[in-house]
Amino acid sequence: MLACIVGCLGITHTSFSQNENNLVEDSIIHVDAERKFEWDVSFAFKTMNVFRGLVPSKAPVFSTQGGVGMGDFILGFYGGASTNGSYTETDLILVYYRPKITIRADWYYNFTEGITNIPTPSGFFDFNPETTRGLFDFMVGYTISKKFSLLSSTLLFGRDRPSLPEDDLLGIPLRRGEQRYTQYLKLDYTKKFGKAKFQAHAGYSFSWADFQGPTFYANRAGFNDIGLSISRNILNSKTINLPFKAAVIFNPLTKNIYLQGTVSVIELSKFN
């Protein structure tokens, strides 16, 4: 059985007119190597959204993911919304999986009002960098060992662009500057204890346009995401898994710390 973690990105950040959403990491698409075609869907409830040291939604969030696997490729979709209506997102996900390396391309689109200087969403397929609410994220994951793994995420296109300084001075951030090409690097450690799983990670971000300057996640480069979590199944039957995850996330750049709980319903494709 091959397990590939598939999720969605988004961010909440107020400093650069970019206030967005979340990356869900708890839904799993299973692909059986002996079958040419497999599908899976999942459902998750989070007490709040925390993504790479940022808070996309302080309110609880419901999310749904689905995907189909054919050979080494997975095509997935994500939809999420907060209970207070402050956050809504739809994403398209494409994954190429090998035992040691995973290559993934995500198009994240957030419909929430107030996340950019563009007052009205211009559509999921708006690829104009001056108006789109979308982000294109290119990710490469590498499994070092059973305990350690690396993730590289590069925002190649979309809203990863600051407002122009002259507009900021006038209080009218109506135009966007050059692409920042924000890079995020994360090291993960995983250890199983009986039926429970412990995880620790550290994430560092910088901009390829300015190594010490602002990124999509913060106003400077640095460690923006340090976390600890423990998870285990609270229900494990022949037809459904119900894992619970508790996580503590610390952002050294903002000096904020968050506690997040997640309950997921996965492996729904086992219903026959």
Query: Predicted confidence band at 173 (pLDDT cuts at 50, 70, 90)?
Result: low
Query: Could you tell me which residues are beta bridge partners of residue 187?
Result: 150, 202
Q: How far is CA 5 from CA 29, 45, 66, in A?
A: 7, 17, 12
For residues 25 and 5, give the distance between their C-alpha atoms in angstroms, rounded to a whole number: 6
Buried b (16+ CB within 10 A) or exposed e, 80-91: bbbeeebbbbbb
What pLDDT sits at residue 97? 86
Query: What's the pLDDT tens digit per position in 180-229?
Result: 999 999 999 999 988 899 999 999 999 999 999 999 899 999 999 999 99
pLDDT at 107 over 60: yes
> How is the chain classified by DSSP, letter by letter?
-EEEE------EETTTTEE--------EEEE-TT-SEEEEEEEEEESSEEETTEEEESS-EEEEEEEEEETTEEEEEEEEEETTSS-EEEEEEEEEE-SSEEEEEEEEEE--TTSSS-SS---TT---TTT--EEEEEEEEEE-SSSEEEEEEEEEEES--PBPHHHHHHT---SB-----EEEEEEEEEEEETTEEEEEEEEEEEESS-TTS--SSSSS-EEEEEEEEEEEEEEE-SS-EEEEEEEEEEETTTTEEEEEEEEEEB-GGG--
Q: Quick one: pLDDT at residue 189?
A: 97
What mean pLDDT comes out for the span 89-96?
90
pLDDT in tens, 218-230: 999 999 999 999 9
Residues 6+ apart with CB under 8 A from 172: none
Residue 172 has pLDDT above 70, yes or no: no
Is the pLDDT at 56 greater than 90? The verdict is: no
Residue 251 has pLDDT above 80, yes or no: yes
Whether the predicted pLDDT of 272 surpasses 80: no
Residue written as tokens 């999986």?
Answer: 97
**Contact (Cβ atoms closer than 8 angstroms) between residue 216 and residue 176:** no
Cα separation of 133 and 118, whole Å? 8
* Between 56 and 259, residue with greater pLDDT: 259
pLDDT at 13 over 60: no
If we measure between CA atoms, which residue out of 155, 128, 151 comes closest to residue 20? 155
pLDDT of amino acid 211: 95
Q: Given a cut of 90, is residue 145 above it in pLDDT?
A: yes
Q: What's the predicted TM-score (pTM) here?
A: 0.82
What pLDDT is recorded for position 71?
Answer: 81
Higher pLDDT, residue 173 or 266: 266
248 pLDDT tier (thresholds 50, 70, 90): very high
